[in-house]
Homo-oligomer: A and B are copies of this chain.
């Protein structure tokens, strides 16, 4: 059905494809990797898989952080990375139509050339695919003003569990015809169908942002500043938090003069054009009132971009820190992802500090404070089962804290394998039953990415 060079059972290749970037999630032994080049090939693959009861695991760039793209035993890994064409950009309609393997940065650059913007900007934007972004409903730093990936999905083409091809959604700005099928596949992590084409809406290019840095003597003070900014009615285009652990990791990874004595840094941008200066002045006042020890307005776009780039280094910098703490490839990170009501950010960060201290496990906190979505990052020694176990206990305590604060177990990374139990707790028995009913309705044989999102019964 496919040419030989697009079907591989080579053990090294299988090993390279068997997991995403989630540490500590199990990966099974796959049967083969297949690389379809169009929708018809995806449909043919699924029909064969369905006929033989073979599980199918769709994959993009495997940059996910919850194990959703990990292999399961005996599965066909369906790599959509080769379906990487931008099919259409229509400035008049402000839409683009893309294949799932298009890399986020590739789409952003292409639409920018036409004066348009595709806002979703997950940390992995230089490598992750739109198909993966849609399947996990990925977020990023823009979300506080511009929302998550799902808010940009107008239409989808999806290969269903029996190999039929569904086209759903629309190209029009508005449309309420029938059930909202695109939203059902967004964030479903490949458990309900394989996305083969995506129609996204675009925005006019944003105005240039002005960027403010605020340092705080306590993480709680930074959290108070966030609440004050939101309560004052501002909608920043970025409102990021880094704690001291991250500031130190970034300075060690790529020195740029960050104040590593501060307990926390906020990075705040306003892209409100002529109003941006006045907005940031008022935001500065909010920060000062919350106890900021230092406030610094970026002089120009280059400097603002350098500060944003520093924020983007948080993950690789923490990986390096973990590797240095536990050399010989033993250092690992469990990246958590919890979203709480914005007024509870202070409770979340102080709670995480308390858990870290009490359990003797290093936990850094970074994230999108403006929308209440933080990433506590737990450092573990993979070679030490007791340390891994302590990390798991900390992870569970953070999840429990997040739910107790009225939050959700995942703000943007998804459930995958990492958070199935916490999803079940968050949903409760009725919600879980509805999830199982929907899964059974669309994938009765259970061949689509089995065991992800919903644990086996």
A contact residues vs B (CB 8 Å cutoff): 90-94, 115, 136-137, 139, 143-144, 148, 150-151, 160, 164-168, 170-181, 183-184, 186-188, 192, 204-205, 227, 230-231, 233-235, 273-275, 339-343, 368, 371-373, 406-415, 419, 423, 426-428, 430-431, 433-435, 437-438, 440-442, 453-454
Contacts and interface: CB of A to CB of B under 8 A. Distances in A.
Contacts of A180: 137, 150, 183-184, 186-187
Contact of A435 (B93, B178, B230): B178
Contacts of A441: 437-438, 440-441
16 contacts: A92-B342, A137-B176, A166-B431, A167-B428, A170-B339, A170-B408, A171-B406, A172-B408, A173-B373, A174-B373, A176-B411, A177-B419, A177-B423, A177-B427, A180-B186, A204-B234
The 8 closest A-B pairs by CB, nearest first: A183-B183, A441-B441, A175-B408, A173-B371, A174-B411, A137-B176, A204-B233, A172-B339
Contacts of A187: 176, 178-180
B151 A174 contact: no
A144 B160 contact: no
A69 B150 CA distance: 30
Nearest to A437: B441
Contact of A372 (B173, B371, B423): B173
A139 to B, nearest CB: 6
B186 A427 contact: no
B92 A174 contact: no
A167 to B, nearest CB: 7
Nearest to A137: B176
B233 A172 contact: no
Contacts of A91: 231
Given A93-B343, A139-B174, 19 more contacts: A93-B341, A93-B342, A137-B180, A144-B173, A166-B430, A168-B434, A171-B341, A172-B373, A176-B411, A176-B412, A176-B414, A176-B415, A177-B408, A177-B427, A178-B431, A179-B192, A180-B187, A204-B235, A438-B442
A115 B233 contact: yes
